[in-house]
Amino acid sequence: MHPQIAEQIATLLNRQNQLAIFQTPEMILDSQDRYLVSLYGSRVLGVVAVTKVQWYQGEISHLSVCPDVRRRGIAKGLLRDAEESLRRCGARIAQCTVRDGNEASEKLFQGQGYRMTLRFFNPERGNRIAVYQKVLEERG
């Protein structure tokens, strides 16, 4: 990953999310295998992080799209790519967390078959969080 791309990703993540840890380009480069990026030339339009957390479960996090290119299918495409990445590494369930009040994210995940499984309060950030899950593959 080019450092310019990492810088754009860090900027987008920091602006679009209420992250507990400020992201730097160096942090992005150190974990670049986690990120799926939508590019237009060398411009980052959107990004999502994907992590396998258990043998059966993967986490989709920080799905972010630049405000000036929203509602063009970028988030749906990134979500599909994230799910496919998790399937390839053997995950059976995809999980994500969405801050209460983030209606665009709630609508996106629900529209793609995710179900809210629980809610909790994050005292560190002072907001409520919803956990969404989707079965990626049922075997047997």
Rounded to an integer, what is the distance from CA 1 to the centroid of its chain? 18
Tens digit of each residue's pLDDT (9 = 90 or more) over 43-85: 999 999 999 999 999 999 999 999 999 889 999 999 999 999 9
Tell me whether residue 92 is in a domain.
Answer: yes
Question: Cα dihedral sign for 27, 33, 36, 42?
Answer: positive
Domain of residue 64 covers 3-135
Tell me whether residue 115 is in a domain.
Answer: yes
Max alpha carbon distance in the chain (Å)? 45
| CATH number for position 89 | 3.40.630.30
Tell me whether residue 36 is in a domain.
Answer: yes
Tell me whether residue 121 is in a domain.
Answer: yes
Tens digit of each residue's pLDDT (9 = 90 or more) over 88-136: 999 999 999 999 889 999 999 999 999 999 999 988 888 899 999 999 9
Report the candidate in 13, 49, 17 with the shortest Cα–Cα distance to residue 34. Answer: 49
Tell me whether residue 71 is in a domain.
Answer: yes
Total tally of structural domains belonging to the chain: 1
Tell me whether residue 107 is in a domain.
Answer: yes
Report the candidate in 103, 106, 38, 50 with the shortest Cα–Cα distance to residue 74. Answer: 38
In the block, residue with structure tokens 């992080």: 49
Tell me whether residue 31 is in a domain.
Answer: yes
